[in-house]
Structure 1
């Protein structure tokens, strides 16, 4: 009861001002993180490492990638937007036709979910760009793109660090990115998107007309990520270890972001309001759907033996948690 009184003491103008302040602070922080990511991606200078003349892992022929950066970005953002909207629409239909009061399709939650996705995307890219420039690993097509002048290199020295690229067929940006193999940026982004959407679907989508629809959607999204990751190996853009590291980084960032923000801001406000009101009255019990059910509604459902009850509970059930040693 004290909570309700406290809520009444807060003016709407104060709440609106606080929300606007939060929004401004979050946008400033997002831009402060996103700006270095963009600078590193466009003008980052990777650490210069050497090579061995007989390193067969660097002798693959160069070819255009099957999935470009623009295609990956478009598919990832488009898939995220479609999935978030689809989940809320399916929840709304479930509530309408099944009369499930515990579900609702809230478009505002889509905006919050997409905002969390954007923040996680920037964090994942920050890890990717920092590691790419700090490690400076050579791509599998290094010899074909760089074409070092071996007539001036004494391979008997073993590890070669003094060399000059003679290939002028590629743009300077291609020669720069040839030393940014670890980790795979495509793998990081695709796996981050996949894990985030899988966790979002698991938390938000609640349907009763199919038991396998949810895992089917999750498996399809996961398959797209694996196809993207494998293509980076078959296109000779990354070493297998680069792809594995990218998948791991993307998964960890997605789980961390969803655990810290998604579990807090993606709850259904209607369910939360019902749960808090019932909890204050002391007459609720949890059901298997994750909703809080008032005890008086359960008094007319089943008795201990499973039959329709012939009695009505007069007092709320109290469970003692004391332990006697």
Structure 2
């Protein structure tokens, strides 16, 4: 029997009997159906892989719905649709008197890099690392590796959304003025106060800049650019170290180069907030620290330090140390708690 025929045989079994097995006897029933047809043990590994991916992919879809709600709240906080605190200022404070000259790294650029680039890199790496066997259809290689990358991307996005939410809440609670505060806001009390008088209540009167920039002029602490660029850069650098780097591969020089670019992006984006006078040094320091803590949590807790092999072929499952595989095997062999008629 050819490899294609074998693949179609098990695909047919999975398609025709998976729903019946789950409805009548739980996942264990599917394994019994396979054994009754006299298939070898590799079919169970193939089925384990497919169900594991299906369960995780379904969980990812449900979590993404929550992400959308959280992202909507962050956007409302960012544009000032939700109330937030504004700290006062000291008259003629030179630390708040820098002219606004724009951003070297715009917020749209940082958002694009943070959201799109990691998935593309993970998809490429997983596609290169993918190994076809007799139970995998070669025409589905890109789809399979996209799902595998998507599972890790889900954890990455989860960490990014949590980090961004914390940042926005802290920004709105602290309400610290930026170094360009006087130029962007032009507070009315700044024209009448004297010496080093502290002003706690004011109204922005600037007509040169948009309402968003006037609101944003009082949200300096901490730096979201520093946090998100550090999070993205360190995550990708460590992902490549764990999943792509090997002294025995020809990529031994390419991977460190990409890792260096990731780290340079994180450093330059963070430092540009100082050279652009968009943040104080302590804003960048705290923002970068939050990015480091977030990436440690995502990598070590959510992604398990990328210790699990890519679930893309039965040969990988058979050769792995099997912690995740054994958990799914126990799930398949367990009896359901509720039987459906």
The match for 2:176 is: 137
Whole-Å Cα distance in 1 between the matches of residues 92 and 124 of structure 2? 52
Is it true that 1:180 corresponds to 2:219 in the alignment? yes
Distance across 2 between alignment mates of 1:141 and 1:122: 27
Q: Which whole-Å CA distance do the structure 1 matches of 2:82 and 2:116 have between them?
A: 28
Corresponding residue SS for 1:11: helix
The equivalent residue for 1:57 is 95
Deviation string 1:222-245 (CA, Å, 9 cap, x unpaired) is 001111111111111111111111
Task: Indicate conservation of the 8 Å contact 2:227/2:289, yes or no.
Answer: yes
Find the partner of 2:151 among 74, 87, 112: 112
Task: State how far apart, in whole Å, the 2-side matches of 1:248 and 1:129 are.
Answer: 15
Find the partner of 1:267 among 309, 325, 340. Answer: 309
Give per-residue Cα distances to partners, 1:76-124, cap 9 Å, x unaligned.
333213321232244349x9xxxxxxxxx94432111222222122111
Q: Does structure 1 retain, via aligned residues, the 8 Å contact 2:126–2:310? A: no
Q: Indicate yes or no: 2:207 matched with 1:168.
A: yes
Query: Structure 1: 5+ residue runs without aligned partners?
Result: 1-6, 96-104, 281-325
How far off its partner does 1:217 sit? 2.1
- C-alpha distance in 1 between matches for 2:322 and 2:93: 68
2:70 maps to 1:33: yes
Paired residues, number: 262
Which range moves more in the overlay, 116-125 or 141-150?
141-150
TM-score (norm 2): 0.67
Secondary structure of the corresponding residue to residue 179 of structure 1: coil
* 3-state SS in 2 of match to 1:245: helix
Greater helix share, 1 or 2? 2
Max Rg structure: 1
CA separation of 1:90 and 1:23: change in aligned 2, threshold 3 A: closer
Q: Is the 8 A contact 1:195 1:255 kept in 2?
A: no
Residues 18 and 57 from structure 1, CA distance in 2 versus in 1: closer, same or farther, beyond 3 angstroms?
same
Shift of 1:71: 1.5
Between the aligned partners of 1:124 and 1:152, the Cα distance in structure 2 is 40
TM-score with structure 1 setting the length:
0.70
Q: Could you report, residue by residue, the CA deviation over 1:34-73 in whole angstroms, capped at 9, with x for unpaired residues?
A: 3322322232433121111242110101111121111122
Quick one: distance in 1 between partners of 2:180 and 2:228?
Answer: 22
Aligned to 1:228: 269
Could you tell me how far apart the structure 2 residues matched to 1:89 and 1:195 are?
A: 22
How far did residue 267 of structure 1 move?
2.8
Aligned 1:1-325 pairs, distance under 5 A: 9-11=28-30, 22-23=59-60, 25-42=62-79, 43-92=81-130, 106-149=145-188, 150-155=190-195, 158-207=197-246, 208=248, 209=250, 211-263=252-304, 266-269=308-311, 270-276=315-321
More deviation in 83-92 or 130-139?
A: 83-92
Cross-structure match for 2:34: none
CA distance in 1, matches of 2:297, 2:237: 14
Root-mean-square deviation (CA, aligned residues, Å) is: 3.2
Task: Give the superposition deviation at 1:154.
Answer: 3.7
Question: 1:181: Cα distance to partner?
Answer: 0.5
- The CA distance in 2 between the partners of 1:170 and 1:18, in whole Å, is 49
SS in 1 for 2:320: helix
Which stretches in structure 2 are left out of the alignment for 5+ residues? Answer: 1-25, 32-46, 134-143, 326-341
For residues 8-40 of structure 1, the C-alpha deviation after alignment (integer angstroms, 9 at most, x for no partner) is 725389x59966763454234333433322322
